[in-house]
Structure 1
Amino acid sequence: IEQAAGDDNELSARKIRRILRIHFRRVRNTVLGQKIYVREQVISRISNGKLVRQEIEREAKGNEQKLRDLDAAAVRYARELSADQTYSMVRTFEIVLAKLWNKLFSGVEVSNGEIPHQLAAADYEIVYVPTHRSHLDYLLVNYMVYAGGLPAPHTAAGINLNFFPMGWFLRRTGAFFIRRSFRGNRIYTAVVEEYMAYLLTHGYPISFFPEGGRSRTGRPLPLKTGMLAMVVKSFVRNHERPIAIVPVYIGYDKVMEVKSYLKELSGGAKKKESMFQLLGARKLLKMYYGKAYLSYGEPIILSRFLDATQPDWKTLSDSKPEWLSAAVNDLSQQVSKHLNEAAVITPISLVGLALLASNHKALPLEELQAFIEKMIELNNRLPYHANVKVMSDNFAEILESAQKLKAISLYQHAAGDVAFVNDVDAALISYYRNNIAHIFTIPALIARFFHQQ
């Protein structure tokens, strides 16, 4: 306004209107993201993309009938895959999920929430890569990102979740459904790559679970590199928009499916997701689940990573260069490391760590308190990483949380109460112990060495 003060009123007004339009467009894109695409147009664009056409022509080998069949297959794959996000459904899900979280949890704790906001303000394309503990992860990540004032990401979901009506709803909130295995189907792989490239180059944030499936033990799973490779290949092909990969640690005081995990680990068959299973889950809503936790880890700026591992990556024309596999493996190690560094030390994980390390899975309360306080002190003095968060350092609160979750039992005795877990509860609580075992592994090995000496 001060700069335009010397101009005539009409010219000043035009300048101010232009500046305000640009400002409000940027604010809108930061909160809502890019304008939602027309799904049929994207399906057509993907099925006619360069990678897809190359694979179709390679397989058809000049056969006109086969060419038409493969064209139809590419369109079918693109339709099966692509999201159909709408603002109204995202907003509806925000309202529904807010009520669901209030019913399920006593709170959702978010740590390091400034990280994605800083990246969005710097105009980075954000790729969220969360740990995978529960089916609720899909909903929790999208909800917390959107409720935090950022665009809801397009989330890769397993094709097993594409059942009516859940698949219909998820697709309209931004889920795109991917088959468990692409092996041997090069056209399907090309369709997925083209879709990922479209999202990344047009300003749509993405979320996918690099572990591939839910952890049945609570331990981190080795990362699958397929989706990460697609992100890298897309960026190598078109690096106009900077990309930041943001690890997201997800934890729960009580995982809704933990008992089914125990059955699967004991040899039981995994139940297929269906409408009947969804209806049967209503009884689970009456249980107490404590808190949920979401912690953002240190982001990986993809251009900096490639500059360090392959300095001439911008000058290469090959869509799949020789160095790609090694670079993606290194990237997956970085992501895994940053996920571990964003871990949350929850009350139930501390109690599990203490009781499962003791003889007979039992400890007098005084000893349990001394053990837990020593673990907290160890993390405070020699932190695994600055992003690791201890959610409570008050023993009374920690004990009360474990009791409310019905994770432990107390034996009252005149000489002092004893906390213990039976064999079934020990198997269940080991899940949460495993969430934080990596934080204390090295100190434990060092302590064991000196103890033996």
Structure 2
Amino acid sequence: MNADITDHPSILNSLDRVGARRTLQRAGLLEEPTGPLPTDTPEVAELLADEAFTTRLAELSRSLGRPAPEVRAEAAGYLREIGATHTGRAPKDWARFAHWLSRAHDLVVDPEQTRQLRALDRKQSLLFPFSHRSYLDGVTVPAAVSSNGITPAFVLAGANLDVFPFNHLLRRSGFVYVRRSTTDLPVYRFVLRAYIAQMIRNRRNLCWSIEGGRTRTGKLRPPTYGVLRYMIDALDTATGSQALIVPVSIVYEQLHEVQMMTDEARGISKRPEDLRWLWNFGRSQRERFGRVYLQFGEPLPLRERLAELRGDDRTQGRVVERIALETCRRINRATPVTTTAVVCLALLAADRALTLDEVLATVAPLARYIRDRGRPVAGAADLTDRATIRRTLDDLVRGGVLTSFDGGTETIWWIGPGRHLVAAFYRNTAVHMLVDRAIGELGLVAAMEDGENGLQAANRETLRLRELLKFDFFFPPRSEFAAEMAAELAIADPAQGDGFHDFTAADAKRWLTSIEPLVAHLVLRPFLDAYHVVADRLAAWEDDDEPFDESRFLGECLRVGRQWALQKQIASEESVSLELFKPALRLAKHRDLIRPGAPDTAKLRQAFLEEMRETVRRVSVIAQLAQRGRP
């Protein structure tokens, strides 16, 4: 029976259509054809017919100690699982379904950016790593590409979205399903690397989430390196091929799924994606939720940048990491601040009900800062316009984030019960614009408190904070970081505009009591409070004779963090989040505070705890200055 079926590609294709072929193969009722079939996608057929691929596969089978035919059959199965194309009616059918799925938003794309990309598209593969705040991103990016005359992109999507019966449609619409966990699948990793290399040789355009999954906090997550590493390997083997990284920022005025994501960040189990989930997700998009802004960042010529990094002894062994971090910085630079973000920032800062005039008064200094630093604003909105802010407040009420009351002399707005994390998500979409400002403020606190050499104290503190927060934010190299700090100081005192000059503790105090806005307590406090919880639990951790149980440790951080929030030992429950604990734990690993039996572990953990206590104290100084309503 196996031979009869595998000799008839049309039967195999029919089994694929109903999602049955892989089930039959797992049950041992059907063998995997190891040669190219007429129904195979172009890259799959090319690889299965390629002698070099066959040779490398034979080498892999020998290294694994497995029979070559068995390994080749496994590889062929993985190739067909991964393989995608743009063919027949599928792209048009998917476009209609995608339009229904994303109907809650109006897509805004800069036509000048797409015009430039059309010219670049003729000569090389365009690689579109995108920020990932919604399931809709994988729909939005390829739609923005193909609808603007750029060669349709293939989407590297998580295999968790391989949902029957839409998976067959999506494969023929350019969706490449990639498994998340491949540690124990050496043949799969080999096949995925070869497939991506073949796509780049064929000058395909590709897009994928640089974060690997959706952010649960609103800000860009640390990048994953797997897909990018395969693309770099592909360029090394595909002589003459060119690829251009085009960073993509996607930011929404509002999203239906934010409450679900913030719940997941607090440890609530994620619901698995299936057909019922997809239908419910689509139905949730019935209510209009404003605009989605898609911006293309500054392109990065991959081959040229690789040559530069490989020629620099300081970056040896960290080339992929450097490319990923540079890509993330370019995504952040392209990400505009939305009116939603600044309104949520204002209400989170007040932590009480505000009138429209009070919201405008809170937003005004922030708007001036954004203008002075030349940061992009979504839709070129006027953040000081009364009608714009009022419309955003009302939209957030309709979205369930804010509550309003108009029964008194004026309408007032405040963050609804249980919605602080949702408001923080929207605020965090703009947090990258304010991190330098916040770090500069803490540098001035250090200068104010540490003696007469203010410049030296501020430099020391800002560099310490850069190292402390490097797993949460994307800082440029030290020379560029110093330039950013100089630009921040120049806003406080224009006399500092041509570079750093010596200043005193009195100067630092004068600047801190006069500049607006002060943001360190709004921007960094949630993250530093989470670091404080992690440092405290590490200092109290007693099972150092056993391998470190990360899951149990993070569970304890959630419980203690919840306690501290109720006791007001941390500013808010926003800090009680796995998404914030994990980078802190990564920092602890980097500092060798986790490894069992490491020398002076207890002493180093205590030093980390003291450092976090002092850092949080300095943030409280900024909060007190802001609360006093300085002259």
Give TM-score scaled by structure 1 length.
Answer: 0.81
Distance across 1 between alignment mates of 2:277 and 2:98: 19
Distance across 2 between alignment mates of 1:364 and 1:312: 55
* Structure 2 CA distance for partners of 1:324 and 1:237, relative to 1, 3 Å: farther
* Structure 2 CA distance for partners of 1:323 and 1:421, relative to 1, 3 Å: closer
Mapping of residues 19-30 of structure 1, within 5 Å? none
Structure 1 equivalent of residue 56 of structure 2 = 54
Tell me if 1:368 matches 2:359. Answer: yes
Q: What value does the CA root-mean-square deviation take over the aligned residues?
A: 2.7
Distance across 2 between alignment mates of 1:113 and 1:367: 40
Structure 2 equivalent of residue 72 of structure 1 = 73
Between 216-225 and 264-273, report the one with greater CA deviation: 264-273
Structure 2 equivalent of residue 5 of structure 1 = none
Q: Secondary structure at the match of 1:357?
A: helix
Structure 2 equivalent of residue 126 of structure 1 = 126
> Greater Rg, structure 1 or structure 2?
2
Tell me if 1:420 matches 2:414. Answer: yes
Task: For structure 1, list consecutive stretches of 5 or more residues without a partner in the other structure.
Answer: 1-36, 314-321
Offset at residue 77 of structure 1 (A): 0.8
Structure 1 equivalent of residue 93 of structure 2 = 92
Tell me if 1:398 matches 2:389. Answer: yes
Cα deviation, 1:362-391, whole Å, max 9, x if unaligned, reads: 33321211222322221111124xx66464
Structure 2 equivalent of residue 338 of structure 1 = 330
Distance across 2 between alignment mates of 1:341 and 1:42: 35
Aligned residue pair count: 402
* Structure 2 CA distance for partners of 1:391 and 1:98, relative to 1, 3 Å: farther
Between 89-98 and 76-85, report the one with greater CA deviation: 89-98
* Structure 2 CA distance for partners of 1:161 and 1:419, relative to 1, 3 Å: same
Mapping of residues 21-420 of structure 1, within 5 Å? 39-40=40-41, 42-47=43-48, 50=52, 53-60=55-62, 66-98=67-99, 100-101=101-102, 103-105=103-105, 107-111=106-110, 112-121=113-122, 123-311=123-311, 325-358=317-350, 360-384=351-375, 389=378, 391-393=380-382, 394-406=385-397, 407-412=401-406, 416-420=410-414
Task: For structure 2, list consecutive stretches of 5 or more residues without a partner in the other structure.
Answer: 1-37, 445-511, 514-620, 626-631
Offset at residue 198 of structure 1 (A): 0.9
Distance across 2 between alignment mates of 1:272 and 1:136: 16
* Structure 2 CA distance for partners of 1:375 and 1:208, relative to 1, 3 Å: same
Distance across 2 between alignment mates of 1:351 and 1:92: 39
Task: Output the amino acid matched with 1:328.
Answer: V
Distance across 2 between alignment mates of 1:44 and 1:92: 25
Q: Is the 8 A contact 1:296 1:342 kept in 2?
A: yes
Q: Is the 8 A contact 2:90 2:170 kept in 1?
A: no
Q: Is the 8 A contact 1:290 1:401 kept in 2?
A: no
* Structure 2 CA distance for partners of 1:113 and 1:44, relative to 1, 3 Å: closer
Task: Output the amino acid matched with 2:265.
Answer: L
Structure number with the bigger relative contact order (C-alpha 8 A, sep ≥ 6) is 1
Distance across 2 between alignment mates of 1:62 and 1:355: 59
Q: Secondary structure at the match of 2:418?
A: helix
Offset at residue 242 of structure 1 (A): 2.0
Offset at residue 132 of structure 1 (A): 0.8
Distance across 1 between alignment mates of 2:121 and 2:93: 24
Q: Secondary structure at the match of 2:425?
A: helix
* Structure 2 CA distance for partners of 1:49 and 1:205, relative to 1, 3 Å: farther
* Structure 2 CA distance for partners of 1:330 and 1:404, relative to 1, 3 Å: same
Between 173-182 and 282-291, report the one with greater CA deviation: 282-291
Distance across 2 between alignment mates of 1:264 and 1:62: 38
Q: Secondary structure at the match of 1:378?
A: helix
Q: Is the 8 A contact 2:90 2:173 kept in 1?
A: yes
Q: Is the 8 A contact 2:57 2:71 kept in 1?
A: no
